Chain A
Amino acid sequence: MSTGTSADGRSGPAQPRTPTRSTLPHSASTATAADTIDVRDLPSFGFSSRSLMWWATAGLMLIEGTVFALGVAVYFYLRDVNASWPLGTPVPDWRWGTLNTAILIASMVPNEIVKRAAQRQNLGASRAWLVVCLAFAMAFLAVRGIEFAALNVMWYGNAYGSIVWFLLGLHTTHLITDTIDTAVLAALLYFGPLEHKRFVDVSENALYWYFVVLSWLPIYAVIYLAPRFHP
């Protein structure tokens, strides 16, 4: 089996149907003789918005997107109530944050590859590219450590320091959780008992990574650009 689309589908004993009911391949909306909608031939999983997991992920992204938006709002609120900004502290060193932004944007390539592999239900490619994604996440987290040090302000120094650490910490929390998520998923693909719906999990994991990447861009702008421009 070199294609990676695994095994035989459904030739097992679950396939034969009771003879009394007609079976309706791929169309569940027609009534049978017994006047019911027979759903036994519906697929047991589906990708994207067909899947319940997609809705859960979308819900989490809405919640966390709201938190990010609030963080940005608080940043500008605090900037607005103060006469000077960033409260007399030096602006953050932009180099590490920019390097990290480059890593994050680059990580969208393996992320897209693994998403497509999952949607083709290709196990080998999913496994391999999930590990590549994991490597990107690790690289990002390492640079993130330096990024905190390059903020040039401590969280207890003043309110500017507090909100900048909060924003960066909040985003880092998302990175750590998604990194753990990806690691557990990769471990399951390599070692765990598998079923095909795990490809949906891989696909949703990739969707969530897009959220982590794209939500970073406005936060990057707030942390590194906003203190450099004066209204």
Chain B
Amino acid sequence: MNESDAFSHPDAKARLFDGPDASAATRSALALTWADPPGWLGALAAINHKTIARRFIATTFTFFLLAGVLALVMRLQLARPGNRIVSPDTYDALFTMHGTTMMFLFAVPVMQAVAAYLIPLMVGARSIAFPRMNAYAYWVFLFGCLTLYGAALLGAAPQAGWFSYVPLAGPNYGLGKGPDIWAQMITFTELSALLEAVVLITTILKMRAPGMSLNRMPLFAWATLVTQFMVIFAMPSIMFASTALILDRLVGTQFYNPSLGGDVLLWQHLFWFFGHPEVYLIFIPALGFISSILPTFARRPIFGYTAIVLALIATAFLAFGLWVHHMFATSVPALGKSFFTAASVMIAVPSGIQIYCWIATLITGRLNVKTPLLFVLAFFFILVLGGMTGIMLGAVPLDVQLHDTYFVVAHLHYVLLGGAVFPLFGALYYWFPKISGRMLDEGLGRWHFWLFFIGFNVAFFPMHLLGLQGMPRRVWTYSSGMGWSDLNLLSSIGAATIAVSIVLFLVNVVRARWRGEPAGRDPWGGATLEWSTPSPPPPHNFDAIPVVHGRDPLWDPPGTPAYVSGLAADAREVLVTTALDAVPDLRPLFPVPSIWPFVSAVATTVLFIGSIFTPWAIVWGSVPVVAALTAWFWPTRRQNAQALALERRP
């Protein structure tokens, strides 16, 4: 066989190359090259990381709103003693759907979604790594969300709580399809999250602009990197647990059946080995937001960059040593409980280091108090309160007393909203101008902030007291003689206030898109690379890839060389650099938009949903998945011709 025929060389046309002084024609060629195709078919084939991430953020926010509505119904039911607005079964479905949605469909994925938008811009790349896999991960996530809510609308909502404990969710007590739907929702969302983790890690380690060595990387990129490694080690545990659950229910395995050698606590171990790190999957990206927002509004570089990076890594390690503190009320050995108490208290150390660095940044800076900064300052207040109750719950005797009361509900909302949602809103106010090209209104933003902040404390602070008074969580109602009525009413008023603040936020977003003030490249005077490109960024992100000479590229004195040149403008060439020092290494050709990630996600959905009804779906359902993935991989002649024309062997 004549092997030279295998790599045939078609005629290559003269190419356009990018660079800082490229012509207008080159820049429009770049935009055309990296744009998503038009039309509805093009929308399904889109792979630009900004397109996918915008959809991802919008989807997670939609489910945030839905879960918020569920919470409002619960607060309405609990506002008065003896209410009969919803039935006990409906109430079970409400809190299960609320918790499941907030944790699995909002809090973890929204952090990955924001990262998928920002990371390529922050590290100076034209694209995210594996853009098609990124699109596939989004579609799988969307279909997982739709599966859960579609089933709920059809009357098969899960009712066993967001951690779906066995035996309640097992074959003997979890009647109907609800627990199976819950288990497969896990499979969808965690598959998506794991793929997204690989995408983000590769982008951060291999696609940074030249000169951005690890010790110059923006802290948000560090936080994202650390978080994605946590995803890789934590998420398999919940996938394992939920797969074993669905196997117990569908094909009669005995993992959680004590009468045949199984164990119900096995579920709790597997769930919380994921579930506790999950809190930090939400929290650490938020720390990254704070470390991005604070320097801009304190108008000085961050204090203690190295200490913050080390604290992030330490937090990630310690987060895996805490899971048993969710199980202090079970029969785990006392020595184990002591260990996990110590670890739970120890995690305050790296958190304290970061808070110290942030306060130092604030005190020594010249503050520019805008809405993003307000949300960050609220973080300090709320998280410290949540952290205090965390230390209380970390002590075994107190935890046993307060387990399953509203004290825990108060604690977890202080930690999750204070630790993640407040910084997330700060991040949205901060980066919305970059994403949309328009400013959010500052006045409406302050109204949103104060109503949210006050409403939050009014809603959740009374829950501490209710818990101390013995009100158990997840009760659908209570009698007027318990003395819980006033605090519950107060809490419901707080919830309504939060709802008003969120409506104001939505009004602000709609208003900004309609007639917001144009943002320009850098409305806040930020230091990181995303502010060097127009708002919204062009499809190719940067006309010329910047070269980085310090930690704050937009504040540091300009260095030479300032830019990269020589990437093709009429093909999707990107620059790959070395993992540690970001030295230019390769210029691979990235894939073009394709419908196959979408088709593959549809096939995957058929497999996952089919497997709820028959285990044979794993067999016949995998045929279309394999076919779609093969079609995704197989190069077309045209792509091949372009690749050969640009190819250069090492």
B586 touches A42 (CB 8 A): yes
Q: Is A180 located at the chain interface by the 8 A CB criterion?
A: yes
A157 → B minimal CB distance (Å) = 8
Most buried by B among A7, A32, A63, A195: A195
B206 touches A55 (CB 8 A): yes
Within 8 A of A (CB), among B547-597: 547, 560-567, 573, 575-576, 579, 583-589
Within 8 A of A (CB), among B202-236: 202, 205-206, 210, 232-233, 235-236
A36 touches B562 (CB 8 A): yes
Count residues of B near A (Cβ-Cβ below 8 Å).
87
Q: A18-B17, A63-B232 are in contact. Are A45 and B650 (CB under 8 A)?
A: yes
A38 touches B640 (CB 8 A): no
Q: Is B269 located at the chain interface by the 8 A CB criterion?
A: yes
Chain B residue with the shortest CB-CB distance to A155: B253
CA–CA, A180 and B627, complex, Å: 11
Q: A36-B19, A156-B252, A159-B257 are in contact. Are A52 and B576 (CB under 8 A)?
A: yes
CA–CA, A146 and B195, complex, Å: 34
A87 proximity list for chain B (CB < 8 A): 260-261
B560 touches A35 (CB 8 A): yes
A74 touches B563 (CB 8 A): no
A9 proximity list for chain B (CB < 8 A): 648-649
A42 touches B585 (CB 8 A): yes
A186 → B minimal CB distance (Å) = 12
CA–CA, A9 and B644, complex, Å: 10
Q: A44-B587, A77-B263, A158-B260 are in contact. Are A166 and B253 (CB under 8 A)?
A: yes
B546 → A minimal CB distance (Å) = 10
Main secondary structure of the interface of A (DSSP, over half): loop
Q: Which residues of B contact A (CB under 8 A)?
A: 1-4, 6-7, 9, 11-15, 17, 19-21, 129-130, 133, 194, 197-198, 201-202, 205-206, 210, 232-233, 235-237, 239-240, 244, 247-248, 251-255, 257, 260-263, 266, 269-270, 544, 547, 560-567, 573, 575-576, 579, 583-589, 626, 630, 633-637, 640, 643-650
A60 → B minimal CB distance (Å) = 7
A37 touches B587 (CB 8 A): no
Q: Which of B7, B233, B626 contacts A7 (CB 8 A)?
A: B7
Q: Is A161 located at the chain interface by the 8 A CB criterion?
A: yes
B49 → A minimal CB distance (Å) = 14
Most buried by B among A156, A162, A165, A192: A162
CA–CA, A158 and B19, complex, Å: 66
B634 touches A82 (CB 8 A): no
Q: Which of B6, B129, B240, B566 contacts A21 (CB 8 A)?
A: B566
Q: Residue-by-residue, is A38-78 near B (CB-CB < 8 Å gives 1, otherwise 0)?
A: 11111111110111100110011011101100110010011
Smallest CB-CB A-B distances: 5 pairs: A40-B566, A159-B261, A59-B198, A193-B640, A162-B253
Q: Which of B12, B257, B262, B635 contacts A12 (CB 8 A)?
A: B12
B565 touches A194 (CB 8 A): no
Chain A residue with the shortest CB-CB distance to B235: A63
Within 8 A of B (CB), among A109-130: 121, 123-124
B544 proximity list for chain A (CB < 8 A): 36
Chain A residue with the shortest CB-CB distance to B260: A158
22 A-B pairs within 8 Å (CB atoms) are namely A9-B649, A12-B9, A31-B560, A34-B21, A35-B562, A36-B561, A36-B564, A41-B566, A42-B648, A44-B643, A51-B586, A52-B588, A59-B197, A77-B266, A81-B263, A123-B3, A155-B253, A156-B251, A157-B254, A160-B261, A162-B244, A197-B643
